[in-house]
Amino acid sequence: MKFRCPVCMYPSLAYPPAHYNICPCCSTEFGNDDSDFSHAQLRQMWLESGAAWFFGQPPAGWNAWKQLISAGFGALVPKPFQVASFGSLATNAVRVATPVVVTSHSQFAVGLAA
């Protein structure tokens, strides 16, 4: 049985988020850290520290933003990362495919010179 961390939403805790178990993703020690701060506060602190993986190597393909989005916390993902995670490839493809529109002779000349 897997448990979801109520702070960072990591879905694969091996133990319940209690009894001084520590989330390997956000490092919250349950029963200690969350007796001083709410889960929302701890989540904010984790985000502000960069939302990094805490213990050892993260699982293959792990992505903090996708983890939050899959748990319904997409609004917490910083805007630049919302684009970077899900829009950049498509956006770049469109950008590359968009032809340069020449609107005047001077621009055309610059284009030729370059």
Residues of this chain that interact with Zn ion (CB under 5 A) are 5, 7-8, 10, 23, 25-26
- Looking at the Cβ atoms of 53 and 81, the one nearer to Zn ion is 53
Q: How far is the CB of 61 from Zn ion (least distance, A)?
A: 17
Taking the least distance from each CB to Zn ion, the nearer of 62 and 108 is 62
Cα–Cα distance between 13 and 5 in angstroms, integer? 7
| CB atoms inside a 10 Å sphere around CB 46 | 23
Shortest reach from residue 28's CB to Zn ion, in Å: 5
* Token couple for 31: 């029963």
